[in-house]
Amino acid sequence: MSLQSDLIHVFNGIPFTTRSSAELLRSLDEFQARHDDLLLVSYPKSGTHWLAEIMKHLYSSKVSITSPIEFGNVSKLEELSNIPTKRIIPTHLNFNMLPADFKAKKCKAIYIIRNPKDTAVSLFHYYRDNPNLPTIEGWGTYFDMFLHGEVVCGSWFDHILSWEEHRNEMGTLFLYYEAMKKDIFQSVKKISHYLGINITDNEVHEICKKTSFSEMKNNVEKENTDPNNTVCSLTSNKKLIFRKGTVGDWKQYFSNKQNRLFDEMYNTKMDSSNLAKHIHYDN
């Protein structure tokens, strides 16, 4: 399958859906950040919606959680500038494409990392179910695309490395999806400490309950809200956001040869990465 289609365009060497217009992507560096902006950063299908739900409960109604900054057309920048409250802005952009003013103002950023094998499988199903993404021939074709960064938002390896290289410029907090699944209580505590939010243990427990995978999936299936109000830049259908949310599902898809190829690429690309040392593939 060719990257070029009526659903995909390539900008700065990275595939984007046409829901992220080239005009908007070219205009990102004109965006004016605010010192209190908070970025929720991830590679697609890594848990951004989960993180956004936690933010919603940590801040209550005192903030606006937007759709991703790269989602839409150039009018998006004006829409964001007109938001009167504190802005929480999701993004799947690598660090190099992030609007410069976020960096200049040293805005806080939380980057959630999911192990790349489960990420690959989750994005595979997203390709299959999402009409805003090109049709793919099957897992084998898709696996090669993912391994070589030919899927939306490009290479998982390059994405995480771009943020790690500049991790101190904005004081980015890195979280691990698998660690959050194991101990969401401590993860919420870590997030609240990073954001300077005072919260009791009882309040943390309540947030953990309200942001469980089953609770969030159930709420999305029931809600009737503006479909464009989503933290995902790849679809406006919130029901496509949740699938399993499990750890280790990749084992059902990777052949021995694919697993070996992936590990070889991983070991080469991530050899000097400190973040990679904390990524786990099992429950």
| C-beta neighbour count of 234 within 10 angstroms | 25
Q: Which residues pair with 14 in a beta bridge?
A: 11
CA–CA separation, 114 and 178 (whole Å): 7
CB 280 within 8 A of CB 178: yes
Q: Tell me the two tokens of residue 40.
A: 């929720």
Q: Which residues pair with 179 in a beta bridge?
A: none
State the alpha helices, DSSP H only, in 29-130. 48-59, 75-81, 100-104, 116-129
Please identify every residue annotated as catalytic: 92
CA distance readout (Å), 53 to 114, 128, 217, 233: 17, 25, 11, 16
CA–CA separation, 232 and 228 (whole Å): 9
| Closest residue by Cα to residue 155 from 9, 13, 261 | 13
